[in-house]
Structure 1
Amino acid sequence: MSESGNEDRTEAPSEKRLREARERGDSPRSKELANVAVLGCATLALKATGPHIGAASRDWMRNALQIEPGLIGHPDRLTAYAGKTAAALVMPLAPLMLATIAGCFVAPALMSGLRFSSSALKADFTRLSPAAGLSRMYGRESFAELARSVLRLLLIGGIAAIVIKGSMGRLMDMPSQSLEMAVANGVDAVLRVFLALVMAMGVLAAIDAPYQRFAWRAKLKMTKQEVRDEARESEGNPEIKARARHVAREMANKRMMDAVPTADVVLVNPTHYAVALKYEAGAMRAPKVVAKGVDEMALRIRELAGQNKVTLVEAPPLARALYRQCKVDEEIPVKLYAAVAQVLTYLFQLKKWHPARGPMPQLVQVDVGADGAPDAANGAGA
């Protein structure tokens, strides 16, 4: 069985997949919500501007039925007069038309937010496939749409018929009414029908909108392999990541080697470990590890220290403790202060020593206990 079949798409779509779908113009859409939004905005606008539209329509009809004296004998003025008459009818209806246009943006905003996708404007010739067309016509979604259409027709048609039947008496009296009253009653009847339709379509939209969102997410479900591929893609190629880590290590090692000549002392194991320390009184709270390494790296640190006349001190327990507990460019921990202080004191005494003053100072071996502190049985050499 193919792993990409719909029956294997059991994983919820990732945020990346949903975002890519929206970017190419594939978003959840509800025709019922769009219809009720457009009709609802138009109904609200009609209710707000109904009296104005009725009065303007009455005046427009009165003017349109009158003969314009200036047109007699001047047929060339007829085009301009027709345009002026049409504009006089459009202006009162402008708020209604603008509200209807605004309603077109309500449904997309509620379903997925307003987004513009240039991908949706590109030609897609796969839509011209007869096989795809037949699958859409006779597929499961087409039968669902047919069922929704029948339900829409029965519900909306039935409610509209009930409302019109209730207003039939007022509509039958319109021929005997004055023009103003007839227009007002006509607008009121239309408004009643629209309100009833909005409520009926609102019920359909309340059912259809969640279903369309569910169907859209179900369509974008992923297979387990697609989830793994996307995770691999988002995390990056393992080979590239390994190469990046290698480059980062090389750069860190180069920075360490550049810092070794500036160190005050290099503690060694004597062969397996090497840790370079630097301390600037007043600028640092405690000595800082500027380089460290084992085996080959330790050898390179010792060689570089020898070339730059940096003092090498054999202190195996302390060198191992500093290597394990400290990072490069990090101050030594408090529990190693006393042990490192013994080494720095020895260096200070060594720099001040002169053969005329007696034998060369010697560093007593510093034993670092389990807690990192020097063994109380040992002291610093003088």
Structure 2
Amino acid sequence: MKIDLTETTSSKINAALVQARRDIGTPAIGMVLTLVIVTDEENAYDALKSANDASHEHPSRIVVVIKRVSRSPRSRRDARLDAEVRVGADSGTGETVVLRLHGELVHHAQSVVLPLLLPDAPVVVWWPDGAPSDLAGDPLGALGQRRITDTYACENPLQGLGERAAAYAPGDTDLSWTRVTPWRSMLAAALDQQALKVTSAAVEGEDENPSCELLAMWLADRLQVPVKRTRSEGPGLTSVRLETKDGDIVLDRADGSLATLCMPGQPDRAVALKRRDTAELLAEELRRLDPDNTYEASLKFGVAKLAVEAPASAPTPAPAPAKAKAAASDSPETVTGPKAEAAKPAAKPAKKASAK
């Protein structure tokens, strides 16, 4: 059942939800959370489809927030709220409210969403694309106990990981991290079977794939060994190699669906390791609403290491003019270490000579 509301308010939307449930004969529905999706018109259909599929495992009220930004100065001033209410077969196992915000209302989306949240139920906010840098500081993000992004959709995934680490708050997570859950499970199980000390590791996958980067960060953080990141044609993450003194543990997935696990002293075995769609990833994240400490530790450890290594690969600055070099060499602030004490006495006579 669908109900279209034009130039409406949050109270009218709530009244439409109650009336729709009565009309289809389901006055009470056991929904476990409110899922707020912040997206645009281009990505709204795919995001809503994934959320509806995930609702079969987690019945929820889905609130889709679409901000319609107009280029016309008059339209930007005119605040208007249009809504679409879906209940029953058109809304998975819960109920859906699609909000389209116009004009100045775009900057006050939280005031529209707040009255539509389920009482005494957790709130999860999901940005399929275009997430803000500070998730917890965003007005809509502040409403949620859990905040989900996907750095794979960023134009620069590595920069996106840096932003997630810099502004991390308990409850933040990323679908790029969720994609490597089966890999982490298989690698942890392999090390549980054989008590081998890992000396180094290598992660192979597509260039600038955030899931590959996060898996490498996790291995480096947990094993405290150097991890080499190599590139392949994909799809996605293709191989992980753990080097030990008794032989290598290799988990290789060349086709994106079936992987091969090789361990020292054991026959090779086939492992189902298919690439999952967004609905499966979202359903996994909705199973837990507590902070993911492992994700936090891996993200901050890996990004900090990247920040330390970045200056070594930075381009060499252009040489300074001769006069500037001389001035810099005479300045005590530019001298460090044992040479600093020798440089300071030489600077004082120069000042006296210039004063005379």
- What TM-score bracket applies, with the shorter chain setting the length? under 0.3
TM-score normalised to structure 1 length: 0.19
Which has the larger helix fraction? Answer: 1
Structure having the higher Rg: 1
